[in-house]
């Protein structure tokens, strides 16, 4: 069956790139959820992963490097009924966008954040990313990375993010299920997805990710924050799956004064000039 979100054509990705795997996973997830095309808005920053929205047939806001999260919250504020999905890379989300990542988790808009994590910068040709592992050599970090990599899951759990998960491009079925859960979840949902960069990361390859990851066991309780944090800190092998869900958090757009009285998106509303008149009268 034709996938309504599929946009055929050339991409700017290398042959064998993990981005293709993630794209196929996301396309299936969107179709299986039965979402309508004009209900979905994609947001991304800049980078090879951030080009993803270009290759779906959806509305998108392809903004600035590191700045996918603020417009996503702005879109939810303007029209909460839109299904907002971010796809961006590890550099965009955890490096340039690091401050927004922290505060978007606190803000908790109902969005899904899919981060392509290949532990390297692709578009700028092979420099270290915030998730590059210690010792990883690049044309800039010629003696190897010495800075501690970001652990996005542990960070998100520490901030009490409402949904925290990790998938892998090499595990399409289970990752698709995770992404479907993330999109259906109400609140900020992070899905970090491991992928290989075939051009600039010769260490963390498809094979490497297969060998250094495993899925959390079926009996794992994702409501236990302490356990989630502990499991997120496991370094080798690294678990995949849903680490943590907190459904008791206030959702950003629900709490805005704009939606206390009406659920209508802002574009449908008219300014109440009578109330404005009252505000002006109050200045007497």
Partner 1 sequence: MGKNIAPKSATKKDSNILSELIIVLAGEAGQGIQSIESILTGVIKNDGFNIFATKEYMSRVRGGVNSTEIRVSSSPVRSHTERIDLLIPLNDDAIPHLKNRISSKTVVIGDNTQVHYDKLVNIPFQRMATELGDAIYSNIIAVGVICGILKVLEEKLYIEIKTKFINKGEEVVAKNIEAAKSGYAIGRELNKNKIVNCVIAKNSSIKDDILINGSEAVALGAIAGGCDSVFAYPMTPGTGVFTALAGYSNKMGLVVEQVEDEIGVMNMALGAWYAGARAIVSTSGGGFALMTEAISLAGAIESPAVVHLAQRPGPATGLPTRTEQGDFNLVLYAGHGFFPRIIFSPGDVKEAFFLTQQAFNLADKYQVPVFILTDQYFTDSYYNIQQFKIESLTVEKNIVETNDSYKRYLLTKNGISPRGIPGFGTGTVCVDSDEHTEEGRITEDLDGVRLKMADKRMKKLNLIKKVAMKPVLIGNKKYKTLIISWGSNCNTIIEAMKIINNRDISFLHFPQVYPLPKVTGAYLKKAKKLILIENNQTGQFGDLIQMETGIALTNRVLKYNGMPFSVEELKKVLEK
Q: Which residues pair with 56 in a beta bridge?
A: 6
Q: Report the distance separating Cα 40 and Cα 43, nearest Å.
A: 10
Closest CB to partner 1 among residues 1, 280: 280
- C-alpha dist (Å) from residue 132 to 106, 141, 203, 265: 25, 11, 10, 41
CB of 196 to partner 1, least distance (A): 24
Closest CB to partner 1 among residues 142, 282: 282
Calculate the dihedral angle through the C-alpha atoms of 105, 109, 115, 121, rounding to the nearest 10 degrees: -70
Which structure tokens are listed for 118? 């290949």
Closest CB to partner 1 among residues 11, 205: 11
Q: Report the distance separating Cα 72 and Cα 119, nearest Å.
A: 24
DSSP state of 128: -
What is the phi/psi pair of residue 152, to 5°?
-65, -30
Q: Which pairing describes strands 40-44 and 83-89: parallel, antiparallel, or unpaired?
A: parallel
C-beta separation of 5 from 56 below 8 A: yes
CB of 108 to partner 1, least distance (A): 12
CB of 74 to partner 1, least distance (A): 3
Closest CB to partner 1 among residues 83, 201: 83
CB of 62 to partner 1, least distance (A): 4
Closest CB to partner 1 among residues 75, 251: 75
The residue among 62, 109, 102 whose CA lies nearest residue 83 is 109
Q: Which residues bind partner 1 (CB under 8 A)?
A: 12, 37-39, 41, 43, 46, 51, 53-54, 57-64, 67, 69-75, 77-79, 81-82, 99-100, 102-103, 107, 252, 256-262, 265-267, 269-273, 275-281, 283-284
CB of 3 to partner 1, least distance (A): 15
Burial class (CB in 10 A: 0-12, 13-18, 19+), 152: buried
Closest CB to partner 1 among residues 226, 267: 267
DSSP state of 38: G
Q: How many CB atoms lie within 10 A of CB 138?
A: 18
Closest CB to partner 1 among residues 6, 57: 57
CB of 96 to partner 1, least distance (A): 10
CB of 78 to partner 1, least distance (A): 4
Q: Whose structure tokens read 């993990």?
A: 18
């Amino acid at each position: 069956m034709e996938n309504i979100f599929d946009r055929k054509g050339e991409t700017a990705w290398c042959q064998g790139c993990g981005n293709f795997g993630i794209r196929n996973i996301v396309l299936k997830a969107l179709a299986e959820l039965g979402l309508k095309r004009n209900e979905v808005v994609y947001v991304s920053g800049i980078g090879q992963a951030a080009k993803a929205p270009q290759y779906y047939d959806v509305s998108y806001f392809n903004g600035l490097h590191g700045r996918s999260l603020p417009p996503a919250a702005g879109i939810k504020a303007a029209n909460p009924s839109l299904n907002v999905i971010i796809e961006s890379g590890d550099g965009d989300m955890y490096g340039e966008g690091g401050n927004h990542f922290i505060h978007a988790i606190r803000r908790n808009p109902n969005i899904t954040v899919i981060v392509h994590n290949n532990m390297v910068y692709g578009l700028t040709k092979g420099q270290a990313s915030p998730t590059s592992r210690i010792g990883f050599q690049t044309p800039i970090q010629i003696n190897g990375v010495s800075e501690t990599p970001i652990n996005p899951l542990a960070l998100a759990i520490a901030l009490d993010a409402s949904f925290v998960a990790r998938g892998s491009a090499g595990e399409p079925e289970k990752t698709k299920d995770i992404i479907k859960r993330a999109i259906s979840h109400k609140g900020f949902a992070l899905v970090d997805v491991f992928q290989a960069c075939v051009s600039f990361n010769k260490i963390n390859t498809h094979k490497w990710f297969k060998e250094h990851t495993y899925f959390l066991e079926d009996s794992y309780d994702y409501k236990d924050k302490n356990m989630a944090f502990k499991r997120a800190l496991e370094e080798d092998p690294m678990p995949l799956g849903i680490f943590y869900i907190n459904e008791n958090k206030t959702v950003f757009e629900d709490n805005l004064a704009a939606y206390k009285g009406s659920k209508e998106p802002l574009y449908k509303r008219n300014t109440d000039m009578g109330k404005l008149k009252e505000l002006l009268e109050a200045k007497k």
